[in-house]
Amino acid sequence: MDDIRPPIAQGSTRFLDQLRLHIRQSGLAYRTEQTYLLWIKNFIRFHSRQHPKNLGSQDIEAFLSHLAEQRNCSVNTQRIALNAIVYMYKRFMGLDVGDLKFSPAPTPKRLPVVYSRDEIAAILSQLRGVHRLQVELMYGTGLRKAELLSLRVKDVDFGSNNIFVRGGKGNKDRSTMLPQRLKPRLLQQIDHVKRLHAQDVLDGYGEVYLPDALSKKYPSAATDLAWQFLFPSTTIGKDPRSGTLRRHHLHPSALSKQIRKAVQAAGINKPAKSHSLRHSFATHLLESGYDLRTIQELLGHSDISTTEIYTHVVNRGGKGVLSPADTLGS
């Protein structure tokens, strides 16, 4: 793991250390911890390093408006900053921030980047091994990159043909389909995890990270094969939460790099992003006649309006209207 920090002393009196400990004990993802602390530090710096207890709702509104008006942050960035500040005041400090009024960031209407089926095949032809399996899974299930990498062995259910997503975006659970063609390779991947885990145990490791609540409820689960990551890291690393040496999942940057290389090698002149595989999954299902509500559930969208964006990019071109140029004779 790249971002390695020493564990926090339980008796620390520093405000940010206490806040970090509170976030960890609440069971939020490590990435969320990093993001929340970043935005809270920005909030404190914006107000000349005043302690948050001396700041109020107007100060929160001023910071959020600044993000939209001076820094031109996106609506998602502004929302993340808001979530971080509200967490600090409401859950950590026990203070109500009230009904905040601030300048909202503009919401640009951007269409998702979608790969055609031929382009998906071309991308896959450039990949080998575990990275090809990961890309096929993202395209075949609609998983986000973070959701894919967070999968545990137990989340793949061959009996019901489901893949279970635990604590996805918004900390929600859901299930999606298990592509039949990937079953043999997933079984091979689990066998690889089994062998790797057995060696880790022999070497004195083999204990995977579990959220605090689970580790207390099931103290032996951390060493069970079922709880090991489906795509484990190639090396043992220090857990930044506790300082424990253990094997985490593969780093997201490694997968992103492989996708970029594959898209370029395939000669595809579109942005090379893992999220485009998710967009392609949804668009191709829509083209195949599946209804929006089903696709919404598979993607884990809380609002169907988010899913409706894919109706604008289905393979019909120009809103399904036949171009007059195509009616001309030769």
Sign of CA dihedral 232, 235, 239, 240: negative
Among 24, 131, 144, 174, the active-site one is 144
The verdict on pTM exceeding 0.75 is yes
**Whole-angstrom Cα distance, residue 175 to residue 143?**
10
pLDDT in the model for residue 12: 39
Q: Which amino acid appears at position 37 of this protein?
A: L
Residues of the chain with pLDDT under 70: 1-13, 170, 212, 315-330
275 has catalytic annotation: yes
Q: Within 13 Å of residue 112, how many CA atoms lie on the same side as its CB?
A: 25
Can 248 be counted among the known catalytic residues?
no
Give the side-chain half-sphere CA count within 13 A for 266.
Answer: 23
The top-level CATH class assigned to 15-92 is mainly alpha
Whether 22 is a known active-site residue: answer no
* Domains 15-92 and 117-312 are alike in CATH topology: no
Q: In the chain, what are the helix, strand and coil shares in percent, each to the nearest 5?
A: 55, 5, 40
Q: Which residues contact 247 (CB under 8 A, 6 or more apart)?
A: 196, 200, 205, 206, 208, 228, 229, 232, 233, 235, 236, 237
Fold designation for 117-312? hpI Integrase; Chain A (1.10.443)
Active site residue 290: no
Q: CB-based contacts of 258: which residues, under 8 Å, 6+ apart?
A: 127, 131, 135
User: What is the number of other CB atoms lying within 10 angstroms of the CB of residue 39?
Assistant: 21
Residue 178: the pLDDT is 94
Q: Coil, strand, or helix at residue 65?
A: helix
**What does the pLDDT read at residue 324?**
60
Contact 138, 122 (CB under 8 A): no
First CA to last CA distance, the chain: 61
Q: In the prediction, which pLDDT does 117 show?
A: 94
Mean pLDDT taken over the chain: 87
User: Active-site residue among 275, 293, 312, 316?
Assistant: 275
Among 169, 238, 251, 261, the active-site one is 169
Residue 36 annotated in active site: no
Residues 124 and 263: beta-carbon distance below 8 Å: no
Is 31 designated active site?
A: no
Q: Are 299 and 280 in contact (CB under 8 A)?
A: no
For the segment 128-166, what is each residue's pLDDT rounded down to a tens digit?
999 999 999 999 999 999 999 999 999 999 999 999 998
Domain ranges of the chain: 15-92, 117-312
